[in-house]
Amino acid sequence: MKLKTQPVHERVEITAVSAEGKAIARINNQVVFISGAVPGDVADIQIIKKHRRFLEGRVVQFHEQSPTRTTPVCGHFGTCGGCKWQHLQYEHQLKFKQQQVHDQLVRIGKLDVPEIQSIVGARHIYNYRNRLDFGFSNKRWLTTEEVKSGIAFDDRGGMGFHISGAFDKVLDLKECHLQGDFSERVRKFVRQYTSAHQIPYFDIRNHTGMMRSLIVRTSSTGESMVIVMFFGNDQTNIDQVMQAIHAEFSEVTSLLYIINPKGNDTFFDLDVYVFAGKDHIMEEMEGLRFRVGPKSFYQTSSAQAYELYKITRDYAGLTGEEIVYDLYTGTGTIAQFVSRSAKKVIGVELVPAAIEDAKMNASLNNISNCTFYAADMKDMFTAEFMAENGQPDVIITDPPRAGMHPDVAVCLRDSGAKRIVYVSCNPASQARDLAIICEKYHVTKVQPVDMFPQTHHVENVVLLEIN
């Protein structure tokens, strides 16, 4: 229920942050979630929505600004959903992430865990991403000022990030500080070129238009991949756009396009066409080389991925004799990273294209003790699978945000592995899965890592040892 005429609560102190990154205050003993505020702020708050167990509020007026604040670098801060914590000093972002892990595992999850290690911060707190996906829409998001101005905007096209809660609208980006100069130049060029040449933008409601999305991937080796996703299949338009990008950015090592007539943006099931260059880019880590294709996942911060993998390898405690399972292996990066210290490694991953890359990478790196399977974990990871591939000594698991299927968690619990290293990008789902595994294991180490500065997201590595 929306409440438009609710009273304003004066001089409320903001005291905490929630797992979703929103600020929290208590009003009349009820928890209120507030966007745009940080702990230490004092503000007048109006309740805008009531839920069963909490309220949502908005800031009417600030009285005191928290000393933990800093000036956001991006002009889109507050509108764009991307970097919700730009107004928090980095050391405080880290503090709240540490707190989030504690809250999820200990306070909410009620797990018995040892002292949580201090979070590993990132050296680069801007321009750290190696991938950004920009969407096109023929209805860009209008700012409050634009709406108030009363001006009728003829060209409503926009390109940028989707606005949460408005699936058909995108924020027309003017700047982004997440990937760096090259990505910015490509984005601006494609936006200007397609607008100047009137290549129609995607209309998600009516399913018309050409320009659907732009993906820019950069890598630690200096290579880059640009993927343009079209909705329509007008080859003249396609060639024109691709040729223009090719002429402007001859340094792009992999220039690709996709025609996607589907309702959603995923392209696992679609053909990817090479317009110029190679069909992949190369990443490099500790002398290992990884081929990353357009459909493959690679950790979005290459530098922090290295920190994460080192912790994972350290927790795995390998001597060279172990059979290791790397579950949700993606392109098999962790599997290969630990392979020199293991007897053999078994990797499992849902996306067949990622497994093709994993196999190719292993042979490229002269690694012969890794075996990879493409399958849904919940179907493949069973007692029979372990019997066939060898009793695991150590299991590394790195599931997506939703965590593991309960059957997978049960199978891990019953695996008999000496150690389980659980790498997670969502401590809430991790805590839920750990509750199952901890029926036969106990947590001996917890190490949060910051992979995503300026956001509330936190990565967390947990070591479990068998009881």
Residues with a known catalytic role: 425
Binding residues for ligand SAH, how many (CB under 6 A)?
A: 17
* Nearest CB to ligand SAH, comparing residues 106 and 380: 380
Provide CB contacts within 8 A for 394, sequence distance 6+.
316, 317, 318, 322, 323, 324, 325, 342, 417, 418, 419, 420, 421
Single out the residue of 435, 375, 380 nearest to residue 403, CA to CA: 435
- The mark string for 221-260 relative to ligand SAH (x by CB under 6 A, - otherwise) is ----------------------------------------
C-beta of 117: minimal distance to ligand SAH in Å?
A: 20
Q: Where are the alpha helices (DSSP H) in 258-332?
A: 302-316
Backbone angle region of 252, left / alpha / beta, with phi > 0 → left and psi within -120 to 50 → alpha: beta
Binding to ligand SAH (CB under 6 A): which residues in 322-351? Answer: 328-330, 333-334, 348-351
- 324, 316 in Cβ contact below 8 A? yes
Strands 224-230 and 254-259: parallel
CB of 78 to ligand SAH, least distance (A): 30
Q: How many CB atoms lie within 10 A of CB 38?
A: 23
Instruction: Give the nearer residue to ligand SAH in terms of CB position, either 242 or 404.
Output: 404
The 288-327 contact track toward ligand SAH, x by CB under 6 A, reads ---------x-x----------------------------
Query: Which of the stretches 151-159, 182-190, 241-249, 395-403 binds ligand SAH when contact is defined by CB under 6 A?
Result: 395-403
Q: How many whole angstroms separate alpha carbon 145 and alpha carbon 131?
A: 31
Task: Give the range of 124-132, 178-186, 207-215, 393-401 binding ligand SAH by CB under 6 A.
Answer: 393-401
Task: Name which position in 43, 324, 354, 386 contacts ligand SAH (CB under 6 A).
Answer: 354
Give the residues across from 337 on adjacent strands. Answer: none
Rounded CA separation 335/370 (Å)? 7
Residue type present at position 136:
F
Closest to 254 in 3D by CA, of 287, 286, 295: 295
* Residue with Cβ nearer ligand SAH (104 or 312): 312
Q: How far apart are CA 14 and CA 51, in angstroms?
A: 19
Cβ closest to ligand SAH, residue 98 vs residue 329: 329
Nearest to 223 by CA among 130, 356, 286: 130
- Asked if 130 interacts with ligand SAH (CB under 6 A), we say no
According to the binding rule CB under 6 A, does residue 283 interact with ligand SAH? no
Nearer residue to ligand SAH within complex by CB, 318 or 377:
377
Nearer to ligand SAH, 200 or 400 (CB): 400
Q: Which is nearer to ligand SAH, 172 or 398 (CB)?
A: 398
Residue 152 to residues 62, 77, 144, 155, 309, Cα–Cα distance (Å): 33, 25, 14, 9, 52
Chosen residue from 41, 398, 433, 450 binding ligand SAH by CB under 6 A = 398
Give the CB-nearest residue to ligand SAH.
Answer: 330
**From residue 46 to residue 85, what is the string marking binding to ligand SAH with x (rule CB under 6 A)?**
----------------------------------------
DSSP per-residue codes, 162-212: EETTEEEEEEE-S---SS-HHHHHHHHHHHHHHHHTTPPBPBTTTTB-SEE
Report in angstroms how near the CB of residue 334 gets to ligand SAH at its nearest. Answer: 5
Q: Which two tokens stand for residue 26?
A: 């208590």
> Should residue 377 be labelled a site residue for ligand SAH when binding is judged by CB under 6 A?
yes
Least distance from C-beta 20 to ligand SAH, angstroms? 21
Maximum Cα interatomic distance, the chain, rounded to a whole number of Å = 71
Q: Which residues form the interface with ligand SAH (CB under 6 A)?
A: 297, 299, 328-330, 333-334, 348-351, 354, 376-377, 398-400
